[in-house]
A and B are shown apart, each in its own frame.
Chain A
Amino acid sequence: MSQIRIIFKRELAAYFSTPLAFVFIVIFQLLSGAFTFYLGNFFERGQADLASFFGFHPWLFLFLIPAISMRLWAEERSSGSIELLLCLPVTLWQATLGKFLAAWTFSAIALALTFPIWITVNYLGQPDNGAIVTAYLGSLLMAGGFMAIGVCISATTRNQVIAFIITVVVCFLFLLSGFGLVLDVLRGWLPQLIVDTVASFSFLTHFQSLSKGVIDLRDIVFFALLITGWLYASTVVLNLKKAD
């Protein structure tokens, strides 16, 4: 447990020791603000809720989460520090979990810093604050899902740009796996059972109910299993090609 904490601390500090943290947080705030007010018509809707704020999170995360996750293993590979880290008395699982938790916490900090919009909506009307808390939770879980995918893909390459692009593509497929774009391709040649399974992996479907304030245990279990699965896959990938 303490090994995970030590790696977590180091990784989180690494984000803040470069301008990346500040660039990321500023861009996240600007984009989420711009989307909410201009594309989401926050004022024109005339409703005291944050639907127009949370509605854009899947699309923001699609590009911003891979930007956080891309360095996690790819940087270790390209600098050679992976050899140092994995020869310390640390298991692959501890290292992966520590890194994931640090990156996830970093995204949680960025998310938490959007609190002014919460204050704004409370100033303007009487929103359902319970629903907003649930939506924040859903947003955080979705970020965790994207991040776990990013950790695994970062573990496969030494090139951060490649890690970024492939993570975006995979996240995009997961985001839209419940929609025609992905399903129509599969429907023609795969049995319905598999098509339904693919459809059930859609981040968007699972996020949408949470973002409306509905806590369905299945959505939470979905994200928890997805994160565990991708992190496990990361340890398998690392074990297979540590030194490559």
Chain B
Amino acid sequence: MIKTENLTRRYGDLIAVDSLSISVEPGQVLGFLGPNGAGKTTTMRMIAGFIAPSAGTVSVCGHSLTANPVAAQACMGYLPEGAPGYDEMSVQGFLRFIADIRGLDGDFRRSRMADVIERLHLAPVLRQRLETLSKGFRRRVGLAQAIIHDPQVLILDEPTDGLDPNQKQEVRQLIQDMAADKIIVISTHMLEEVDAVCNRVMIIAAGRLLADDTPDGLIARSRYHNAVSLSLAAGSLDKIKTDLAALPQVASVELDQATGRITAFPAGDQPLLPDISRLASDRSWNLKELHLERGRMEEVFRNITTGHNA
């Protein structure tokens, strides 16, 4: 497991990470969310043992990164931001170098090499130099080196950055396949990614932990959670707005002029959708769409990181 206590990193007067105390257990896929410069990369670098904390402690698999960094690093795979590698090496040579330094040998080494090459579809570029690879392949080589020793803990800094939608999907699948008994920490800007792969989310801004929740828990904080949106093929929007506002369990109704979509927000915990759909058929509204909102991650993220809700 990963454990940090009051983890702090200062750069001069700037506090990049401020007293972060977290604990991550096997089976958790933790997503770090935060605006640029929030301290995500600095935190990951301290967990991976690249930079030392200014204060506080961090341990991985029970090994302190300050007292015994090599033991901690041996049980962890790390994809640094931008997936750096040795440009003049071939993909195969690079992976062999990592396998050697990770101490893999014999059949295990052969099967792990074959496994990562297959999982990340690296076979066509094995003999190519890293400097000639496309951004997508480069990222996948970075992922391959991170998982080559089948680590217990996996730290991935923006693993899908620069990938096309299909590649993103593949990487997310890969993370999910490995997630069962491991600890995986990813950082990302993409909110939908957190929703797709993580079962725990932390939002950090200005080095401070602002939220620690499941993706569903986070989405439930949205005011759109359980709201109902509808739009019309024809008919008067104002009339419908008044009708909706008259319902007792509706707190407020908003009309988005640009899209012509009306959203009704719930007053309590009672479901809105059945009543609204009954109302719609009673009054024969000419509906184009009608759906229940799950909540909007963007809105929650914005509220938390700009301080409205924190």
Instruction: Answer yes or no: do A and B interact.
Output: yes
Chain A residues at the B interface, C-beta cutoff of 8 Å: 2-3, 6-7, 10, 13-14, 17-18, 79-81, 83-84, 86-91, 242-243
A-B contact pairs, 24 of them (CB 8 A): A3-B101, A6-B97, A6-B101, A14-B86, A14-B88, A79-B85, A79-B86, A81-B84, A81-B86, A83-B50, A84-B78, A84-B80, A84-B145, A86-B50, A87-B49, A87-B50, A88-B98, A88-B101, A89-B70, A89-B74, A89-B103, A91-B69, A242-B51, A243-B45
> B243 interface residue, CB < 8 Å from A?
no
Quote the shortest CB–CB distance from B306 to chain A (angstroms): 29
Chain B contacts for A17, CB-based, 8 A: 88-89
User: B residues 69-86 with Cβ under 8 Å of A?
Assistant: 69-71, 73-74, 76, 78, 80-82, 84-86
CA distance A81 to B79 in the complex (A): 11
From A80, A84, A242, residue with most partner B Cβ within 10 Å: A84
Residue of B nearest to A15 (CB): B88
Main secondary structure of the interface of A (DSSP, over half): helix
Chain A contacts for B71, CB-based, 8 A: 89
Q: Which of A7, A13, A14, A83 contacts B101 (CB 8 A)?
A: A7
> B25 interface residue, CB < 8 Å from A?
no
Residue of B nearest to A16 (CB): B88
CA distance A80 to B103 in the complex (A): 23
CA distance A86 to B50 in the complex (A): 6
CA distance A3 to B97 in the complex (A): 10
> B48 interface residue, CB < 8 Å from A?
yes
- Given contacts A243-B50, A243-B51, are A80 and B82 in contact (CB under 8 A)? yes
Residue of B nearest to A91 (CB): B70
Contact of A89 with B80 in the complex, beta carbons under 8 Å: no
**Leading 5 A-B pairs by shortest Cβ distance:** A80-B84, A89-B74, A83-B80, A87-B48, A81-B84
> B192 interface residue, CB < 8 Å from A?
no
Chain A contacts for B48, CB-based, 8 A: 87
From A3, A13, A83, A86, residue with most partner B Cβ within 10 Å: A83
User: B residues 82-119 with Cβ under 8 Å of A?
Assistant: 82, 84-89, 93, 97-98, 100-103
Quote the shortest CB–CB distance from B105 to chain A (angstroms): 10
Chain B contacts for A81, CB-based, 8 A: 84-86
Contact of A79 with B84 in the complex, beta carbons under 8 Å: yes
Chain A contacts for B87, CB-based, 8 A: 79
CA distance A83 to B85 in the complex (A): 9
Residue of A nearest to B80 (CB): A83
Contact of A83 with B98 in the complex, beta carbons under 8 Å: no
Residue of B nearest to A18 (CB): B88
CA distance A91 to B145 in the complex (A): 19
CA distance A194 to B76 in the complex (A): 49
With A10-B86, A10-B89 given, name 16 new contacts (CB 8 A). A10-B97, A17-B89, A79-B87, A81-B86, A86-B50, A87-B73, A87-B80, A88-B73, A88-B98, A88-B101, A88-B102, A89-B74, A89-B101, A89-B102, A90-B70, A243-B50
CA distance A83 to B48 in the complex (A): 9
CA distance A86 to B48 in the complex (A): 9
Residue of B nearest to A83 (CB): B80
CA distance A242 to B78 in the complex (A): 16
From B85, B93, B100, residue with most partner A Cβ within 10 Å: B100
CA distance A79 to B86 in the complex (A): 8
Chain A contacts for B102, CB-based, 8 A: 88-89
